[in-house]
C-alpha cells in the first residue's frame, strides 16, 4: 500500500493527525481499533472542548451556571449522558468524513508492528500496510489500582461515568488528575456531594498547570479535597468504607476510581519497530514527539514524556509536520 503516513489508533489525536496530513494532500491511512476495544464514552479520551460544549449546550447545565442542579433525576442524567456521548460521536463522524473526503483510507482491526515501516492489521479484511512515516495514537485505558483489584459494589471507574444509569447522593473520587476532576465536576453539577482524594499535596495540585482550570471549576462547584494521603483499602457494603494511609477511615455512598491510565500498546509488538513502552504502556518522545525510531512519532495520551508545551492539537500538528517533512526530503 503506497502511503506517506500511517496513523495507528483512532483516538482524538489520531484523527487530528490523519485529517491534517490528508488535507495537505498526502496519502494517509488510519487504522481504527475494533469498536469493542475502545470505550468511546471514556471521559479522558473525549477532548475537553467537546465535553465542555456538550455541557454548555445542555439546557439545565447552561441555566444553572455555577449552581449545582440538585436534581435527583436519573432520567435527566441519562438523557444528558446520552447527549454528551452523541456529541463526541458526531465529532468522530466528522473526522471520518473529512479523512475520506481528503482521499485518506481507513482500516478497522488489531494492528501489529512488523517493522519500522510496516504494520499487519488483523480483522475482517486482514491487510499488510507500509509507510515511510507512522504516527502512534492509540490512547490509553483506565488502570485499576491494587486496592480495588476485585469488583466491588458501588465502586466504579470514573472514566466511565457517562455510562452510569443513575447517580448517588454522595461520592468520593479517588485521583485528582484530568479524569478524576472531570468526573467530580460532572457529579457536582448534578447535585452530588463530592470529595476528591489524592496522595499529592494541596500545593502540588495547585501548581499543576494541566489541571488548574478543572481544579478551579471543582472549587466553584463545592467539591471538597482530601490531599496528601493515599487510599490503601476499600470495603464495600451498604456504604463504602475507605481506608487512608494514615489509618483514617471515610465512608461514602459510592467511589469513583481515577488512579491512572495505561497506554494501549501491549499488543502492538513495539520491539519489531525497535521501540519499548514504560511500565504504564506509554512511549517516550523527544522533540517534535519523535520516538527512538526516527520514522515514528506518537501523539495524545500514549505519550509518556515530551519536553514540548502546547495543546493536543498544536502538538499533533507539529508531529505530523515533522513526519511529512521527512517524506518530502
Please state, as a whole number, how many other Cβ atoms lie within 10 Å of the Cβ of residue 329: 5
Cα–Cα dist 258/255, whole Å? 10
* Mean predicted confidence (pLDDT) in 271-280: 94
Helices 178-189 and 212-220: crossing angle in degrees, nearest 10, is 20
Please state, as a whole number, how many other Cβ atoms lie within 10 Å of the Cβ of residue 298: 29
Going from N- to C-terminal start, the domains of the chain cover: 5-45+95-140+262-328, 146-259
Return the C-alpha cell found at 144: 485499576
At 246, is the secondary structure helix, strand, or coil?
A: coil
What is the tens place of the pLDDT at every residue in 143-191?
A: 888 888 778 899 999 999 999 998 999 999 999 999 999 999 999 988 8
pLDDT given at position 16: 92
What is the tens place of the pLDDT at every residue in 293-326?
A: 989 999 988 997 655 556 667 777 777 777 777 6
CATH topology agreement for domains 5-45+95-140+262-328 and 146-259: yes
pLDDT given at position 305: 65
What is the tens place of the pLDDT at every residue in 85-139?
A: 999 999 999 999 999 999 999 999 999 999 999 999 987 678 999 999 999 999 9
Task: Give CA angle at 195 (191, 197), nearest 5°.
Answer: 150
pLDDT given at position 306: 54
Cα–Cα dist 218/201, whole Å? 17
pLDDT-based confidence at residue 37 (cuts at 50, 70, 90):
low
Question: Torsions phi, psi of 255, nearest 5?
Answer: -125, 135
Return the C-alpha cell found at 274: 525497535
Q: Which one, of 200, 152, 138, lies nearest residue 175 by Cα?
A: 200
The CATH architecture to which 146-259 belongs is: 3-Layer(bba) Sandwich (3.50)
Return the C-alpha cell found at 209: 498547570
Please state, as a whole number, how many other Cβ atoms lie within 10 Å of the Cβ of residue 195: 17
The CATH architecture to which 5-45+95-140+262-328 belongs is: 3-Layer(bba) Sandwich (3.50)
More confident residue, 114 or 286: 114
Sheet holding 110-113, edge to edge: 110-113, 118-122, 127-130
Amino acid at each position: 500500500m503506497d502511503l506517506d503516513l500511517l496513523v495507528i489508533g483512532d483516538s482524538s489525536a489520531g484523527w487530528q493527525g490523519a485529517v491534517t496530513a490528508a488535507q495537505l494532500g498526502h496519502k494517509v491511512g488510519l487504522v481504527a481499533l475494533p469498536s469493542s476495544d475502545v470505550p468511546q464514552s471514556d471521559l479522558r479520551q473525549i477532548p475537553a472542548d467537546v465535553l465542555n460544549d456538550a455541557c454548555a449546550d445542555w439546557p439545565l447545565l447552561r441555566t444553572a451556571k455555577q449552581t449545582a442542579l440538585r436534581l435527583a433525576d436519573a432520567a435527566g442524567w441519562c438523557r444528558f449522558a446520552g447527549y454528551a456521548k452523541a456529541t463526541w460521536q458526531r465529532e468522530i463522524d466528522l473526522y471520518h468524513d473529512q479523512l475520506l473526503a481528503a482521499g485518506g483510507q481507513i482500516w478497522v482491526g488489531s494492528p501489529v508492528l512488523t517493522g519500522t515501516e510496516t504494520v499487519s492489521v488483523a480483522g475482517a479484511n486482514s491487510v499488510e500496510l507500509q509507510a515511510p512515516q507512522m504516527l502512534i495514537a492509540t490512547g490509553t485505558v483506565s488502570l485499576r489500582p491494587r486496592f480495588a483489584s476485585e469488583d466491588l459494589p458501588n465502586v466504579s471507574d470514573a472514566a466511565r461515568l457517562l455510562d452510569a444509569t443513575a447517580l448517588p447522593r454522595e461520592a468520593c473520587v479517588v485521583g485528582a488528575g484530568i479524569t478524576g476532576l472531570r468526573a467530580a465536576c460532572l457529579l457536582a453539577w448534578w447535585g452530588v456531594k463530592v470529595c476528591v482524594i489524592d496522595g499529592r499535596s494541596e500545593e502540588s495540585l495547585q501548581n499543576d498547570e494541566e489541571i488548574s482550570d478543572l481544579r478551579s471549576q471543582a472549587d466553584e462547584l463545592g467539591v471538597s479535597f482530601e490531599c496528601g494521603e493515599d487510599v490503601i483499602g476499600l470495603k464495600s457494603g451498604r456504604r463504602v468504607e475507605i481506608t487512608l494511609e494514615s489509618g483514617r477511615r471515610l465512608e461514602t455512598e459510592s467511589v469513583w476510581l481515577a488512579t491512572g491510565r495505561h497506554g494501549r500498546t501491549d499488543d502492538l509488538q513495539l520491539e519489531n519497530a525497535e521501540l519499548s513502552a514504560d511500565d504504564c504502556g506509554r512511549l517516550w518522545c523527544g522533540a517534535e514527539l519523535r520516538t527512538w525510531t526516527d520514522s515514528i512519532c506518537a501523539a495524545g495520551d500514549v505519550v509518556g514524556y515530551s519536553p514540548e508545551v502546547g495543546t493536543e492539537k498544536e502538538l499533533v500538528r507539529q508531529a505530523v509536520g515533522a513526519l511529512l517533512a521527512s517524506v518530502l526530503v
